[in-house]
Amino acid sequence: MKAIPVCAAIIRKGDRILVAQRNHHDELGLKWEFPGGKLEPNETAEECMVRELFEEFGIQSKVKGFLGENTHDYGNKKVCLKAYFVEHLSGEFQIRVHQSVKWVHYSELKDLDWAPADIKLVELLLDHYGYRS
């Protein structure tokens, strides 16, 4: 099974990261994730991130770097989740798609009920910032 490429945004404010809860109507409803979505044909990861963050929150943003990726097999599909560091440039966050969003301190990230593909990315993120609980 070929993995579906999905881009996920790490948006930081001080010691907090923006996390989003999937809508209860959607697959993996109420699980926490990094905002983002599937890469469209002929789109770069940077374009995908900027598009998804505008669709999901109505904000303008810019990709600053790449954290890493994790491929996860959900049984019915396989996703390759690629996490990018993204800077919020302008616009108030409007919650257009998700159930809710919140800014979570590094020390609390591991306590969330994450979408399974995200767990390895959360570990990578904590390593990246040198955070040890």
**Residues binding ligand 8GT (CB under 6 A):** 6, 8, 27-28, 33-34, 36-38, 79, 81, 115, 117-118
Smallest separation, CB 49 to ligand 8GT (Å) = 10
In this complex, which beta carbon is closest to ligand 8GT, that of residue 50 or of residue 81?
81
Smallest separation, CB 36 to ligand 8GT (Å) = 4
In this complex, which beta carbon is closest to ligand 8GT, that of residue 101 or of residue 115?
115
In this complex, which beta carbon is closest to ligand 8GT, that of residue 69 or of residue 118?
118
N- to C-terminal Cα distance for the chain? 36
Smallest separation, CB 47 to ligand 8GT (Å) = 13
Using alpha carbons only, give the angle 45, 2, 69 rounded to the nearest 5 degrees.
Answer: 45
Asked if residue 62 lies in contact with residue 50, where contact means CB atoms within 8 angstroms, the answer is: yes
In this complex, which beta carbon is closest to ligand 8GT, that of residue 63 or of residue 79?
79
Smallest separation, CB 6 to ligand 8GT (Å) = 4
In Å, how far are 42, 62, 98, 110, 133 from 89, measured between CA atoms? 25, 7, 20, 27, 30
Asked if residue 118 lies in contact with residue 32, where contact means CB atoms within 8 angstroms, the answer is: yes
